[in-house]
Amino acid sequence: MNFALILMINTLLALLLMIITFWLPQLNGYMEKSTPYECGFDPMSPARVPFSMKFFLVAITFLLFDLEIALLLPLPWALQTTNLPLMVMSSLLLITILALSLAYEWLQKGLDWTE
């Protein structure tokens, strides 16, 4: 009984909120509202300056390496396992993949900032 009552109340509340959104007036923005505010003056340059693509490539590379290095954090706890050779081989494989991918990025000039 409680579940049916809660389900009915939630459904009615969702329907009520959807009906209210259709009854509310539509807010039409005009061009002056969408411009950046600079103390009443017209902006001298565009407010949204695009980032360099190199920045995004370095940032994505950092995120990938950071996540892969996070996989190495549980190694001290993994040393307590009974199957030590398998753990050592898997950690060495992960470190080798990290080193090879870093060398590949370095050779492809993915980490060079100058253009």
- Asked whether residue 31 is domain-assigned, the answer is no
Query: Do 54 and 105 touch, CB atoms closer than 8 A?
Result: no
Return the percent helix, strand and coil in the chain, to nearest 5: 65, 0, 35
Better-scored residue on pLDDT, 31 or 20: 20
Residues 19 and 63 in one domain: no
Residues 61 and 15 in one domain: no
Residues 96 and 57 in one domain: yes
Would you state the pLDDT for residue 103?
92
CA distance 73 to 21: 49
pTM of the shown model: 0.50
Residues 57 and 102 in one domain: yes
- Asked whether residue 42 is domain-assigned, the answer is no
Per-residue pLDDT reduced to its tens digit, 102-113: 899 889 887 777
- pLDDT band with cut points at 50, 70 and 90 for residue 96: very high
* Total of domains in the chain: 2
Instruction: Give residue 13's domain range.
Output: 2-26
- Asked whether residue 60 is domain-assigned, the answer is yes
- Asked whether residue 48 is domain-assigned, the answer is no
